[in-house]
Structure 1
């Protein structure tokens, strides 16, 4: 089977954002006929989340798809800090009450600090909005469950902002795992670290779950997407500088499944943490390893026997560089809001992911 037919098969999974492998051009970031469709009215609440500016820039990147109504930031000092930032030069600042009362508003991107994500989402759902909700979904499992129950009751979609969902290498990983190329999955290993400064440490020390909770949640989301809810989770936590703060900066989680063991590491005192972020899946018939994860993912596929146009043994798998980290997720959200498709990740998945995150980070 040639590369083009392989790509067509991959697209039948119903997952947007898959880049072509081995030099083929990506076909998923084109905005198709969206210019002929009514624009989706969307607003953003909050600017304090680590991804807030990037999410706003992604919305602004597609004016033929989204009509940005306004941005809510109640902190005057924060608004002053951002007023000259390119992403905020033309935004309309407004109150949350004004935004949610906007005629025809369909969606809200919630980009507050983590502690306010779920409470803000609840108010938006009560107002009838679809959501792009950044991660992680707070420190309470019951609050997360309640939020998803309300979304189901309101027939509204919550798209969680786990940034690896639309990464082409991870979507290819989902494909090869789902189609049995790797056989029975027995092992997954992931690492997501960075070197954080003192101000960042102080900020994250507010959360009991530390770096695993705030950063490695992206990897745990992928594990649950591949294997489902774990049967047991064991958390190992180290606080390297207790004289400085209570930040859990070096963590390991072991997620147990009937046939597989998963290890996820998060290290915030690693000077090479960003470049060496990695994720690998091994089964009885092969292995697939991604390193680096971003911004231009690279991967190696090892197969016990040939699969389609891939040979037995190890080979590199190349991907087109994504046009932007958050582009594909917002274009996908537009399709969901228009009723053209359902989101690939439902509420059950998001709750299972959140429980796994809380257990992996030692909160539960």
Structure 2
């Protein structure tokens, strides 16, 4: 089958180097036409530590060259957070299939314009939420939907870390929604996929000790459902770093817990499942589930994008789902009141 001709727009997003590395590992699926260097074009907040090594040997292109190349079928949009939607809108207008990184900007109406345009054109559109290709998360979504642990009444998760030093704290302080806007969206995508639209969303945007109130690097959001309370946290001063990230889900028939949420050291993610009564294929009692090691965080998702572009599958995440996720994210990050 012919390879999909793809270009990456941007090197400044936090996930940009990871995406291009994944594309380069899939030469049988994707032909990388070129990369747009957005370092001088962007004026919105971005991290300063840009790694250009993954782009060595690739063709540098302007945004106009990408948009005007009739042979390019798809793009990955990897510009800084608040440039994502404006750039993606231009790609949508050129009928380009796209993978756009998170989050969907600080303006919900503008993001909805993008989604509506993609839907009208039947354009493949994929949000870059990094847990979509994680088998442990996919198991949890299915377990909640199928009531493996009964009706869920408690869910707790965090996206804490301590990478990036003081430069990261300065960066995150440039967003009114702080780290909940930047990282909490990954967890919100999971929660909305599993539980749907919440009844209420309440943000708690704090600063870690030693930082001004404007640096919202210690955040929590509470999502309320008819019988469930969901608490999501994200702080950039947790010495456990990403290894400390954890998930706990409790239902009327049992619980699920795992930590860390992902790993790329060749070892499996281990999930603890405890059932009061037999459910699905599992007898009552405690179980340890081991999911195959991930060699690459983004591979499963980009392979899924290729199948969507080729018409082999429908996108498992609808335009409506993506819109709801961002509506919840903006409420959880204090931009909009929940209605």
Whole-angstrom CA distance in 2 between matches of 1:223 and 1:83: 31
**TM-score under structure 2 length normalisation:** 0.91
2:270 maps to what in 1? 298
* Structure having greater relative contact order (Cα 8 Å, sep ≥ 6): 1
Secondary structure at 2:61 match in 1? coil
Q: Tell which deviates more after alignment, 303-312 or 259-268.
A: 303-312
2:196 maps to what in 1? 228
CA drift of 1:153 comes to 1.2
Whole-angstrom CA distance in 2 between matches of 1:74 and 1:112: 7
Structure 1 residue corresponding to 2:16, chosen from 27, 31, 52: 52
The 3 A distance-change label for structure 1 pair 330 and 200 is same
Q: Tell which deviates more after alignment, 288-297 or 315-324.
A: 288-297
2:329 maps to what in 1? 357
Secondary structure at 2:300 match in 1? helix
2:290 maps to what in 1? 318
1:287 maps to what in 2? 255
For residues 143-158 of structure 1, the aligned pairs below 5 Å read: 143-158=110-125
CA drift of 1:90 comes to 1.4
Q: Is the 8 A contact 1:73 1:94 kept in 2?
A: yes
CA drift of 1:337 comes to 0.1
Structure 1 residue corresponding to 2:60, chosen from 84, 93, 110: 93
Whole-angstrom CA distance in 1 between matches of 2:329 and 2:211: 27
For residues 59-78 of structure 1, the aligned pairs below 5 Å read: 59-75=23-39
The 3 A distance-change label for structure 1 pair 83 and 361 is closer
**TM-score under structure 1 length normalisation:** 0.85
For residues 213-292 of structure 1, the aligned pairs below 5 Å read: 213-240=181-208, 246-292=214-260
The 3 A distance-change label for structure 1 pair 318 and 72 is same
Q: Tell which deviates more after alignment, 203-212 or 327-336.
A: 203-212
Q: Tell which deviates more after alignment, 313-322 or 330-339.
A: 313-322
Whole-angstrom CA distance in 2 between matches of 1:352 and 1:76: 33
Give RMSD over aligned pairs.
2.0
Which segments of 5 or more consecutive residues in structure 1 lack a partner in the other structure?
1-36
For residues 149-168 of structure 1, the aligned pairs below 5 Å read: 149-168=116-135
CA drift of 1:273 comes to 3.5
The 3 A distance-change label for structure 1 pair 83 and 299 is closer
Whole-angstrom CA distance in 2 between matches of 1:76 and 1:191: 34
- Count of aligned pairs: 326
Structure 1 residue corresponding to 2:308, chosen from 309, 332, 336: 336
Q: Tell which deviates more after alignment, 265-274 or 91-100.
A: 265-274
Deviation by residue 1:83-108 (Cα, 9 ceiling, x = unmatched): 99442111100101111111221111
Q: Tell which deviates more after alignment, 171-180 or 39-48.
A: 171-180
2:299 maps to what in 1? 327
CA drift of 1:363 comes to 1.5
The 3 A distance-change label for structure 1 pair 230 and 97 is same
The 3 A distance-change label for structure 1 pair 250 and 221 is same
Whole-angstrom CA distance in 2 between matches of 1:85 and 1:202: 22
- Is 1:120 aligned to residue 87 of structure 2? yes
Deviation by residue 1:274-323 (Cα, 9 ceiling, x = unmatched): 21101122111121112110114221001112234423122211011012
